[in-house]
Structure 1
Amino acid sequence: MALTSFERDLLAAIEEGLPLVARPYEAIGDVLGCSESAVIEGLRGLLDRGVVRRLGLVVRHHELGYRANAMTVWDVPDRAVRDAAAVLTGLPFVTLCYRRPRRPPHWPYNLFCMIHGKDRAVVEAQADQATRTAGLSGCARAVLFSRRRFKQRGARHAALRLLEGASRIEGMEWTRPIAAS
C-alpha cells in the first residue's frame, strides 16, 4: 500500500503520541506545515484504508495514584466469551479486555482483563466483582499482580516498516536499518 510523503510525515509525527495541548491536530499541522483539518483528514484516510487501525491513549496509572494492578484471567467456555467480555468492558475499573488462546496443559485461561486500583485489596475486590458481574463465578480464575513496571508506550506503525523493506518476524521488534555512509 503506497503512502504519500504527507502520510509518512503524519505517521512519524503521531508515532510518539499526540502533543498535550488543547488542539493537538493543529499543533501537528504547525509542525508539518499544514492545517488542522488536513491532519484530521489525513488520519481519517489512514484509518479508512486500514493503515492505522485505531488511535488510542496510554494512561500512566501509577502517576495517578493507582499503585496496584493485576491481569485477571478466566477459563471461560468459548460460547460465553463474547458476552462475558461485553460485561467486563463496561466496568469502570477494567482498562483492557481481550481473548487469547489457551495453552494447555499449563495455561487454561482464554479471557484476560487488566484491573487497576489504589492498592491490592481494592484490585482483589474489583476482580471478585468483575467475576460475579460477568457471570464467571463457575470459571477457573487467576489474579496476577504486576511485580514491576515496564515502559508504557503505544503501538508502533508496522506498515511503514514493511514498506521500508524490513522483514516481519513474529515476536521480534523491528529496528530501523542504519544507512551506509
Structure 2
Amino acid sequence: MALDDFDRALIAATQGGLPLVPRPYDAVGERLGVSGQQVRERLAQMLESGLVRRIGAVPNHYRLGFTANGMSVWNVDDALVDALGERIGQLPGVSHCYRRPRRLPAWPYNLFAMLHGRTRAEVEQQALQVRELLGSACTGHDILYSTAILKKTGLRLKEN
C-alpha cells in the first residue's frame, strides 16, 4: 500500500501518541483539517491492510508504581505451548505473552510472559500462578528482572 500525503500527515500527527483528550480522533482531525470520523476510518483501513499492526495504549509501568517487572521465561511442551500461552496472556499482571524459538543448548525457553508487580515478591507470586497453570507441560523457568526502561515508540516516518 502506497502512502499518500494524507497518510503521511496522519502518521506524523499520531506517531508520538494520540492526544490525551476525551475525543482524540477529533483532535487529530482538527489538526489535519478533516473530521475525527475520517481519521478513524483511515486508521481502520491501515490496520486492515497491515500497514499498521495495532493501535493501543503503552503504559509506563514504573510511573504506575509497578517497579518489579520481570520477563518470565518457560520451557513448555511444544504441543501445548500455544493453548497455554493464550491462557497465561489473560492473567492479571501479564502485559504480554508470546512464543519464541529455543536456542539450545543454552536457552531452552519457548514461552515468554511479562509480569508486573510493585515488589519482586508479587512477581514471584504471579510466576507461581503461571507455573501451576502450566503443570506438567513445563520443565523449567526463570525470571529476568528489568533493570532499565527502554524507549518505546510507534511507527515513525523517515524525514526526507
Which interval holds the TM-score relative to the shorter structure? over 0.9
Q: Aligned partners of 1:136, 1:98: CA distance in 2, in Å?
A: 19
Q: Aligned partners of 2:53, 2:19: CA distance in 1, in Å?
A: 20
Q: Aligned partners of 1:137, 1:65: CA distance in 2, in Å?
A: 33
Deviations 1:88-121 (A, max 9, x none): 0110110010111111111111100100001011
Kindly report which structure 2 residues correspond to 1:14-163, keeping only aligned pairs within 5 A, or say none: 14-135=14-135, 138-151=138-151, 153-157=152-156
Deviations 1:35-85 (A, max 9, x none): 010101111111121111111211001111111010000011111111111
SS in 2 for 1:90: coil
Give the ranges of 4+ consecutive aligned residues of structure 1 lying more than 3 Å apart after TM superposition: none
Q: Aligned partners of 1:68, 1:36: CA distance in 2, in Å?
A: 39
Q: Aligned partners of 1:100, 1:16: CA distance in 2, in Å?
A: 29
SS in 2 for 1:144: strand
| Shift in Å, 1:136 | 5.5
Q: Aligned partners of 1:84, 1:155: CA distance in 2, in Å?
A: 29
Shift in CA distance, 146/60, structure 1 to aligned 2, threshold 3 Å: same
8 Å Cα contact 2:99/2:112 also seen in 1: yes
The answer to which structure has the higher strand fraction is: 2
Letter of the structure 2 residue corresponding to residue 155 of structure 1: G
> After the TM superposition, which of the residue ranges 5-14 and 137-146 deviates more from structure 2?
137-146
The alignment's C-alpha RMSD in Å is 1.6
SS in 2 for 1:72: strand
Shift in CA distance, 39/110, structure 1 to aligned 2, threshold 3 Å: same
Aligned residue pair count: 160
SS in 1 for 2:135: coil
Q: Aligned partners of 1:136, 1:67: CA distance in 2, in Å?
A: 31
Shift in CA distance, 11/82, structure 1 to aligned 2, threshold 3 Å: same
8 Å Cα contact 1:73/1:113 also seen in 2: yes
Shift in CA distance, 154/56, structure 1 to aligned 2, threshold 3 Å: farther
Unaligned runs of 5+ in 2: none
SS in 2 for 1:29: helix
Unaligned runs of 5+ in 1: 161-175
Letter of the structure 1 residue corresponding to residue 154 of structure 2: A
